[in-house]
Amino acid sequence: MNGAIVLLVVNAAVAGMFALSYFLIAAISRGQRPVLAFGISYLVGMLTPISEIALSITGDGAFQVPSYGGLLAAFLLTSYGLSRFERQRPLWRAILLAASFGVLIRLTIWGGPRDNLAYEIAYQSPFAVALGLCAYTAFRHANGRSLYFLLGSLFGVTSINFLVKPFVAVAVGSGATAADYANSAYALYSQGSTGILLIAGGLVVLLIVIQTTIVEFTHISETDPLSQLLNRRGFDRQAQMLLSHSANESHDVCLIMIDLDNFKAINDYYGHDVGDRVIQHFAELLQHSIPKSALVARTGGEEFVILLNHATLPAAVLIAETIREQVSDHGFEEVPRFTFSGGVAQLRPGETLADLKRRADRASYDAKTGGRDRIEIEQPASAHSNSQKIVPLRR
């Protein structure tokens, strides 16, 4: 078995492993079904090395059709898959034009003289065009992401390689017939260079898919399904990161603890469906009322927390009071009137997230016992007292 045949076998096996990887990812993560297009592209791409092996063994020229068509279709499927993966409309017109160009060129040069520069350029140009389309698609969806820039660059280099191959074919010879290709020196260069570049591109695509899948699973595990806010786990993880940055940058951080008033009574009287709608409406109001830099989470049945970055205590109190007034005067459809009690605390030097939450929760409890539908501040300790003074904002 010569070196080119070995490379053809390796390329077919690698394409099969990539295809299997994408099919497994699609089976595990329903949100990543678009990666099926990548799996199919590699499955179709396997036709090329397999057909070349069969052609060298049997000498049957009919294998040139799946060899050529499989590779071209695989590249175009990759462009389609990248757009579908990004939930964008595929570049259908460009894909169809590239496919038509490839078919027309192949029919035009069928039976043409091998190792002729014009013939070889015509043969390779549809692949270069298809890979150029893949590069454009990757850059189009990059949005500042380095992996997409790397992928686009790899596709661009691979496209250029297909334009270089005709000159190598003419220089070293690609075999007198298609069946002789596998035994030519050119086959070693073609399969080796193309295989390395396509494997590199495939690994980058796989990294992008895995990275996106991890982000998806992290989002699911850290999101409350009813309110679509962060849950306790997600809030604690992101809040710890925020507090680490705030410690380095020395800026104000405040926390608002919120507890819906008499929520059990709402569930008991109106039913849990209405209670769920109360949670959903309140969550939507919170998302529209807080700064973009803030973290908001549902940490319990009727408990919510807001962490405000770059916010002084008066600013945090103003935000909490504004939300309270919006809820108190709300006109949500199919939802009874409800209120909440809240506590506000400002992060102290050297304090942990747990300490901050504990003080804000204590202020929220005081708001409950003080009459509900109100905001309390958990004040820093006075220089002349070991106790903490709670200041109601209303009533």
- CB–CB of 307/320 below 8 Å? no
If 0-12 CB within 10 Å is exposed, 13-18 middle and 19+ buried, where does residue 350 land? exposed
Instruction: Kindly give the residue spans of alpha helices, DSSP state H, lying in the chain.
Output: 3-28, 36-45, 47-58, 64-85, 92-109, 117-140, 146-172, 185-221, 232-249, 263-270, 272-289, 313-328, 353-369
Q: Please pick, among 86, 222, 302, 376, the residue that the annotation labels catalytic.
A: 302
Q: Which distant-in-sequence residues (6+ apart) come within 8 Å of 390 by Cβ? A: 363, 366, 376, 377, 378, 379
Distance CA 125, CA 57 (A): 27
Task: Please confirm, yes or no, whether 302 is among the known catalytic residues.
Answer: yes
Closest CA to 197 of 4, 14, 5: 14
Phi and psi torsions of 87, nearest 5°:
60, 35
Buried b (16+ CB within 10 A) or exposed e, 230-249: bbeebbbeebeebbeebeee
* Active site positions, annotated: 302
